[in-house]
Amino acid sequence: MEATVHELEGVLRARHEQRPEGSYTATLFADRDLVERKIMEEAFETCLELGKPTVDTERLVSESADLVFHLMVGLTACGVSLEDVFAELGRRRA
């Protein structure tokens, strides 16, 4: 799992720097409002699934993956890594 997160962060940093034409991620980096809306949308869809009497775990995984991806885009745009977030969680645990 850790390798996947680090790999994705590397791809996101590259997309942020290079902004390749036709890249969905580059489109997100060009529009901070769009990133915010996507994070809210995916969080809402994740919550909707969590609130169902019978949770569709495949749908929950899919929506959660979308949420994490878009959150990572937003973090990358602000120069924050997931490692920074996990370090904060560690400080809170201590």
Residues 17-74 have pLDDT tens digits of 999 999 999 999 999 999 999 999 999 999 999 999 999 999 999 999 999 999 999 9
Name the pTM for this structure. 0.92
| Complete domains list, the chain, with CATH | 2-93 (1.10.287.1080)
Residue 29 burial by Cβ neighbours in a 10 Å radius (0-12, 13-18, 19+): buried
Q: H or E segment at 39?
A: helix 32-50
Count other C-beta atoms under 10 Å from residue 73's C-beta.
23
The residue count for the chain = 94
Residue 94 burial by Cβ neighbours in a 10 Å radius (0-12, 13-18, 19+): exposed
pLDDT at 84 over 90: yes
